[in-house]
A and B are shown apart, each in its own frame.
Chain A
């Protein structure tokens, strides 16, 4: 699995499980990207998706089955994060990997951080036995959509629908 050191120019970083001390930086990154502060959401996500321990040692690891919250870090500095999980049988869809959050520090752009994070979460999906990865994002979010396209993602057989709920 992609947990080793990644190199970008003269900088190196690692992809690893998110740690409690990463959360303030992840929240700050999210605010920088989305412009919306949502501390309760992040506390809830961290509680449900973060793991601890050594992934390579199942006895020592307290990993959460099928949920993955990873960070790219240069020392204590979080350069980016990705969160995903395995979902199954939603409207007949066999188990597949879902990525529902990704963010990279502006200063770390061009270091292939997003690509390394995505490959790392895909490695975990593969290890868990699924053969497909999916995501959903805003149609006008060209930057992130271009990134996923560059990783080979295409439109799938499901379509997102919505409506306003009458009061």
Chain B
């Protein structure tokens, strides 16, 4: 499974900021760490700001800081701001879906979608930070 670039940027930014909610980081600092475009990240941070997951801090030493609830926010909450991970469940249809073969294929793909959704929905940012710490 592959997540879109904006989604990955958002997850990286949120995890980086949520690791220390008191810390402020600029878009540049976050972008540099993950090797992503600062412009792209700035747009993503604005989207995250609109839903209250991060807030912009103005002035000298300003930047962004985490303003959400890491125990209550799941990976799915962040991902869904940028993409749909279960297009069939969301009603998207493709050619051939009404044939028996298409219906069988939809059933298999729905199984995969359901598992992906359940996985993302059950991992909070707090849990994800614990997972990340295993790799440090």
Tell me if chain B binds chain A.
yes
B122 touches A149 (CB 8 A): yes
Is B57 among interface residues, defined by CB-CB distance under 8 A?
A: no
Main secondary structure of the interface of A (DSSP, over half): helix
The closest CB in chain A to the CB of B71 belongs to A150
Interface residues of B in 85-136 (CB under 8 A from A): 114-115, 118-119, 121-124, 126-127, 130-131
Which stretch, A33-41, A50-58, A68-76, A140-148, touches the partner chain B? A140-148
Least Cβ–Cβ distance between B119 and chain A, in angstroms: 7
Q: Which of A139, A140, A146 contacts B123 (CB 8 A)?
A: A146
CA distance in complex: A121, B12 (Å) = 35
A150 touches B126 (CB 8 A): yes
CA distance in complex: A78, B80 (Å) = 39
Interface residues of A in 121-167 (CB under 8 A from B): 139-140, 142, 145-146, 148-150, 152, 155
CA distance in complex: A150, B119 (Å) = 12
Residues of A within 8 A of B123 (CB): 146, 149
Least Cβ–Cβ distance between B122 and chain A, in angstroms: 4
Least Cβ–Cβ distance between B102 and chain A, in angstroms: 21
A155 touches B122 (CB 8 A): no
B124 touches A150 (CB 8 A): yes
Least Cβ–Cβ distance between B109 and chain A, in angstroms: 15
Interface centre among B118, B122, B127, B131 (most CB of A within 10 A): B122
CA distance in complex: A152, B129 (Å) = 11
B127 touches A140 (CB 8 A): no
Least Cβ–Cβ distance between A63 and chain B, in angstroms: 32
Residues of A within 8 A of B121 (CB): 142, 145-146
B118 touches A140 (CB 8 A): yes
A142 touches B119 (CB 8 A): no
Q: Which residues of B are at the interface with A, using a C-beta cutoff of 8 A? A: 74, 114-115, 118-119, 121-124, 126-127, 130-131
Q: Which residues of A are at the interface with B, using a C-beta cutoff of 8 A? A: 139-140, 142, 145-146, 148-150, 152, 155
A-B pairs with lowest CB-CB distance, top 10: A145-B122, A139-B118, A146-B122, A150-B127, A149-B127, A149-B122, A149-B123, A142-B121, A142-B122, A139-B114
Residue contacts A-B, CB under 8 angstroms, 7 given: A139-B118, A142-B121, A146-B122, A146-B123, A146-B127, A149-B122, A149-B123
Q: Please name 18 further chain A to chain B contacts, defined as beta carbons within 8 Å, in addition to the given A142-B122, A150-B126, sorted by A numbering.
A: A139-B114, A142-B118, A142-B121, A145-B118, A145-B121, A146-B74, A146-B121, A146-B122, A146-B123, A146-B124, A146-B127, A149-B122, A149-B123, A149-B124, A149-B127, A150-B124, A150-B130, A152-B130
